[in-house]
Amino acid sequence: MGTQSGDADVIVIGGGIAGVAAALRLKDRGLEPLVLEAESRVGGRMTTDRVNGFVIDRGVTLLGNGFVRMRSLVRRLGLSPLVGTGSFSVGIQDAAGCRGYRSGRFEDLLFDRGISLRTRVACLRFGFDLLRHHRALVHGRSILTGSLDGEDARTYFRRIGGEEVFERIFRPGLNGPVGGSVETSSRVILMQVIWNLLVRGQWTLADGVDRIPETMASQVRVVTEARVLHVEQRPKGVQVEAEVKGKQQTLRARAVIFAIPGQLVPELCPQLPADLRELLSRTQYSRIANAAVALSNPPSVPYAGYAFTPDVVPGAEIEMEHLRAPNRCPEGAGMAGVFLWNTPEFCRLDANDESVKQQACEIVEQTFPECRGKVLFVHLVRWNIGIAQFPPGRLREMTALRKRLAAWDFPFDLCGDYLDGLSSEGALRTGEESADRMAVKLAK
């Protein structure tokens, strides 16, 4: 095993979608990568559990029609027969009742009699802004988003006269996807999510999204249960200390790509310049839990997702998984994915597992009383590093960092969702970009 200079040309630390994408691209460019993944399987937040005949995506479930790199990889990997394109709709429950919106159907907003004329005009203005900036909203092109990254989502909607649409629709409807921080997120992040997932529509894989990173990983060298502890630049390349299946090992390569959340990088590599360590240590993720409530007999409901204003149910939303990703449950059964996060008033995630599962069941039964007595089991997944956070200005900092990395002399590079937005497509693209930069560097 290994190359002239050590165990690999490039060691990729982290086997999430960004890491495996970086490795595959390095291989395409004639280099020999080695992925070191701390867990017992690759995929990171793009993994799937299979429990009692139910297919449960732990993190990523929906892939947007705007995720063109992911889609072309799926074709390359021979996974296209698994692609399913269900339609998505969300019901928003407030004290007055439930109103529904279908993805890709802007008219549902424009002709919504429940909102004022002023708000409908603001929706038109928002739609115009989306169209005007759509090129910059595609993941991987966030380098073009600088001018949009100056204000938070709430301030933006207030400025265009859309307080009502924000408070009644986008705030409850998008709080889950952005990890509970919709008010403080940069408006560009909200626009990215709306454009790539809601306006353009979504797809997923019938058998679970983990097929994508797993198939990619089967084409490159990967060591699982390999937790990297320390990385150091040496006169000839880099040295990596890792705990591999319980044993300490030293590995050598010409370069390293860090494909792990940014805030974890500085402690692994104290040699990085102080300003870069400071920038990375400010990377933030929100905590989130995904409690999959398996139902023997799902309720007959009109929408695939249910979101709530905080007075109805704070810090939670429901995704009817058998509707948004069909063929994931045994015949006749269903699954309500309850996403839970902490709010300033309500710390849902601080409870123990049994109590979080109980909360999830109660939310399902409160929303759909006909589900009482039909819960088969609850499968709980907690993410302490869940959804990347982008307050105004953070995406601009990250795009500046990506430009800087291209001109960097160190044998190090970085990738991961925190550099491009909060989606798997952004993570994938940063992985490929980091491999391209590294290949150019190593060719010199």
Ligand X SMILES: Cc1cc2nc3c(=O)[nH]c(=O)nc-3n(C[C@H](O)[C@H](O)[C@H](O)COP(=O)(O)OP(=O)(O)OC[C@H]3O[C@@H](n4cnc5c(N)ncnc54)[C@H](O)[C@@H]3O)c2cc1C
Burial of 192 (0-12, 13-18, 19+ CB in 10 A): buried
Least distance to ligand X from the beta carbon of 3, Å? Answer: 20
Q: Which is nearer to ligand X, 119 or 424 (CB)?
A: 424
Which residues have a Cβ under 8 Å from the Cβ of 339 and sit 6 or more positions away?
176, 288, 289, 290, 291, 316, 317, 318, 319
Report angle CA 334, 340, 342 to the nearest 5 degrees. 175
Binds ligand X (CB under 6 A): choice among 7, 8, 15, 109: 15
Least distance to ligand X from the beta carbon of 386, Å? Answer: 4
Least distance to ligand X from the beta carbon of 18, Å? Answer: 3
Stretch that binds ligand X, among 113-121, 164-172, 326-334, 382-390 (CB under 6 A): 382-390
**Exposure b/e, 16-43, CB count within 10 A at least 16 = b:** bbbbbbbbbbbbebebbbbbbbbeebbb
Q: Any contact of residue 16 with ligand X (CB under 6 A)? A: yes
Place of tokens 């398996």: 294
- How far, rounded to the nearest angstrom, does the alpha carbon of residue 72 sit from its chain's CA centroid? 18
Q: Any contact of residue 39 with ligand X (CB under 6 A)? A: yes
Site for ligand X in 402-421 (CB under 6 A): 416-417
Q: Any contact of residue 62 with ligand X (CB under 6 A)? A: yes
Q: Which is nearer to ligand X, 18 or 439 (CB)?
A: 18
**Exposure b/e, 125-149, CB count within 10 A at least 16 = b:** ebeebbeebbebbbbbbbeebeebb
Q: Any contact of residue 288 with ligand X (CB under 6 A)? A: yes
Stretch that binds ligand X, among 1-9, 35-43, 107-115, 328-336 (CB under 6 A): 35-43
Q: Any contact of residue 260 with ligand X (CB under 6 A)? A: yes
Least distance to ligand X from the beta carbon of 412, Å? Answer: 14
Site for ligand X in 181-240 (CB under 6 A): 227-228
Binds ligand X (CB under 6 A): choice among 173, 262, 298, 386: 386
Binds ligand X (CB under 6 A): choice among 160, 257, 259, 338: 259
* SS3 at position 309: coil
Least distance to ligand X from the beta carbon of 97, Å? Answer: 27
Least distance to ligand X from the beta carbon of 408, Å? Answer: 20
Binds ligand X (CB under 6 A): choice among 11, 23, 137, 387: 387
Binds ligand X (CB under 6 A): choice among 211, 424, 435, 438: 424
Q: Any contact of residue 46 with ligand X (CB under 6 A)? A: yes
Q: Any contact of residue 48 with ligand X (CB under 6 A)? A: no
Q: Which is nearer to ligand X, 66 or 162 (CB)?
A: 66
* Strands in 247-392 per DSSP E: 247-258, 285-295, 305-308, 316-320, 334-340, 375-388
161: left (phi over 0), alpha (psi -120 to 50) or beta: left
Stretch that binds ligand X, among 17-25, 74-82, 115-123, 406-414 (CB under 6 A): 17-25
The rounded distance, in Å, linking the Cα atoms of 195 and 439 is 32
- For residues 81 and 206, the answer to whether their CB atoms sit within 8 Å is no
Q: Any contact of residue 422 with ligand X (CB under 6 A)? A: yes
Least distance to ligand X from the beta carbon of 131, Å? Answer: 22
- For residues 17 and 44, the answer to whether their CB atoms sit within 8 Å is yes
Q: Which is nearer to ligand X, 62 or 216 (CB)?
A: 62
Q: Any contact of residue 283 with ligand X (CB under 6 A)? A: no
Closest CA to 83 of 94, 74, 95, 92: 74
Q: What is the dihedral of CA 350, 354, 360, 363, to 10 degrees?
A: -90
Structure tokens at 438: 């590294």
Size of the site for ligand X (CB under 6 A): 37
* SS3 at position 207: coil
The rounded distance, in Å, linking the Cα atoms of 329 and 163 is 39
Q: Which is nearer to ligand X, 119 or 359 (CB)?
A: 359
Binds ligand X (CB under 6 A): choice among 22, 31, 60, 193: 60
The rounded distance, in Å, linking the Cα atoms of 438 and 160 is 43
**Exposure b/e, 264-287, CB count within 10 A at least 16 = b:** bbbebbeebeeebbebbeebbbbb
Q: Any contact of residue 55 with ligand X (CB under 6 A)? A: no
Least distance to ligand X from the beta carbon of 425, Å? Answer: 6
Give the footprint of ligand X on this chain (CB under 6 A): 13-19, 36-39, 44-46, 59-63, 227-228, 259-261, 264, 288, 290, 383, 386-387, 416-417, 422-425, 427
